[in-house]
Amino acid sequence: MMNYISHKPVYSNIQITNPLPDDIADHVLLNYTCHVDHEGFDLNEIEQAYHKHNNISLEHDTTWYKDGDATKGAHAIIQPWLTQTNTSDLILDHSQFVFRYPISGEAAEQIKRYTKQRPELLRILSTSFKCGLDLCIDYINEDCVQPVVHIEWDYTNIQDLLIGIDYVENALQHTDWNEIISVIKRFNRLSKHSLDAFQQADFRSMLLFGCKSYKLIPTL
């Protein structure tokens, strides 16, 4: 019911080690926002500045945002995963890989020097590497759209991410979509006012993948 092209993640051992030039470090480190996305991959203004200075490309996704702020969107290392190639009742809403790399080396030392003036900068120095996959599929049911599945699974290393990718793609390939859609439509109707959004998402994910919808690794 849904045809797609699969892309593999492009991984490199990114090092964010180059400090900012002295003439702009003061302004950036004392004035830019430094809230850390505790569960996700969105980068704050200081992290973005270090990524840019270290020639690391970021995607600005205006459809993916935190805390209800749709005007800013999200800035992160995002790569495409599945790309739908046909018109179908099944809609691939989004499918991507995400990465977060810690700031280290001289860049981390530079930030550390400013923590006496601005202790909250320690948030930026407390992050670790993580990567993840994000997949959302919907279904056109007559004159409305219903959710089919949405997963966000995080990993601490690339090897586990690759295993997760193969697991999901194999499950999608061998799914009896007519049966699954029939079950999900009935579930959506019955659970709409009796289960919260996370419980509903978990049920649909368990049907397709045997795992919960969200497997998030804390950033800090």
Which pLDDT tens digit goes with each residue over 54-100?
Answer: 999 999 887 765 554 555 688 999 999 999 999 999 999 999 999 99
Among 56, 94, 54, which residue's Cα sits nearest to residue 75? 56
User: How much of the chain is in helix, strand and coil states, percent to nearest 5?
Assistant: 35, 25, 40
Q: pLDDT exceeding 90 applies to what percent of the chain? A: 88
Beta carbons of 60 and 75 less than 8 angstroms apart: yes
Per-residue pLDDT of 137-185, as tens digits, reads 999 988 899 999 999 999 999 999 999 999 999 999 999 999 999 999 9
CB atoms within 10 A of CB 41: 22
Helix ranges restricted to H, 99-145: 105-113
Q: Are 93 and 35 in contact (CB under 8 A)?
A: no
DSSP state string for 88-107 = -SEEEEEEEEEEE--B-HHH
pTM above 0.85, yes or no: yes
pLDDT at residue number 69: 55
